[in-house]
Amino acid sequence: MELLQENTLLDYGLDIKPNIFELNESYLISPHDLTAAYVFAILILGQAKSIALAGFDGYEKGDQRQKEMIDILARYQQLGSLEKMQAITPTTYPIAQGSVYAIHE
């Protein structure tokens, strides 16, 4: 219990609602129950200067999970939030591609 007193806890909620995507200060409303959507929201609200994605390779073209992730990425693109994201390993998602060996700022 003492460890919790020394740290700041972030209570950020998630609500799943079809066809709704809203990034708020205290919670995210997402049309898909995807961990990545939730993590991206926290990184963006935390004002991360850059986001390097490793192992974010994707699924087969017709896989529903691939479609959901592409939808989430498109919604973040509309917010202007993908500019700071870069995949540093191969990916099938529509995001900037870099290299694990390149310096990432």
Cβ–Cβ under 8 Å, residues 32 and 17: no
For the whole prediction, is pTM greater than 0.85?
Answer: no
Structure tokens at 45: 């609200």
Q: What is the pLDDT of residues 31-74, one digit of tens each?
A: 999 999 999 999 988 888 889 999 999 999 899 999 999 999 99
Cβ–Cβ under 8 Å, residues 71 and 89: no
Cβ–Cβ under 8 Å, residues 96 and 86: yes
Residue 1 has pLDDT above 70, yes or no: no
Cβ–Cβ under 8 Å, residues 41 and 23: yes
DSSP letter, residue 23: E
Q: Quote the CA–CA distance of 37 and 23 in Å, as a whole number.
A: 10
